[in-house]
Structure 1
């Protein structure tokens, strides 16, 4: 697995999910990334990746033969419509509903949807309302 860029100064460098059925996971994440406008970074016989998320089989070199446990990943959406599209695409691609699109009480304007991916990971798309629209993007470099 080789990425094209190294980004310094992020909280998370990368995440790896080790899955049972790579084809099912790739279909699910391809559909989700398409509606969230996240380009697929690359694929191989035992993995695929987008941005800093790597998904592989247990027999890939990086996995050491073990599946990862259940995780919660939240992807940013550009607006409520994108959250709705995420939910619909995720269900159509084999996901299981874990919280329909709607406002949550985490903070004002928090609009999110939750689905379980083919391995049971809790995958979320979230839009933070007007606060997200007006917040500047921050790029940290070292």
Structure 2
């Protein structure tokens, strides 16, 4: 068994009010970002890479997630796909003052989570992901 993970966290778990709406939203976002589709799903959950999404019942998450994008065009594609899949504008694509080259777009997912796609400008990645192999 082999897992690929990012730099900072192992996974994020969102609790949502409408699993079908969230599945539609995140599938569109992942496609725009060029990522694989949902890895596994059941009647009350799905997950893709480090993101786990579960039907919430009465408690719904409120978080900010920032997805990495390789370039500005991908940030723009993310924004358009997210809006078309039920997201709401929370900051159109553009350069932000966080640091030179920080180009991002923000949308609210169907439950109001603040979802961002960001490109940090020209850069070099030491590896596409961290590879974890179970023994």
Query: Scaled by the length of structure 2, what TM-score is found?
Result: 0.87
* Residue 27 (structure 1) aligned to one of 24, 28, 33: 24
C-alpha distance in structure 1 between counterparts of 2:72 and 2:4, whole Å: 28
1:100 aligns to what? 92
Gapped regions of structure 2 (runs ≥ 5): none
2:74 aligns to what? 82
SS in 2 for 1:18: strand
Structure with a larger share of its residues in strand: 2
1:5 is displaced (CA, Å) by 3.9
Paired residues of 1:28 and 1:93 also in contact (CA < 8 A): yes
* Residue 55 (structure 1) aligned to one of 53, 59, 63: 53
Greater relative contact order (CA < 8 Å, ≥ 6 in sequence): 2
In structure 2, the CA distance between the partners of 1:15 and 1:9, relative to structure 1 (3 Å rule), is: closer
Gapped regions of structure 1 (runs ≥ 5): 59-64
Cα RMSD of the aligned pairs, angstroms, is 2.2
2:59 aligns to what? 67
Q: Does 1:13 align with 2:10?
A: yes
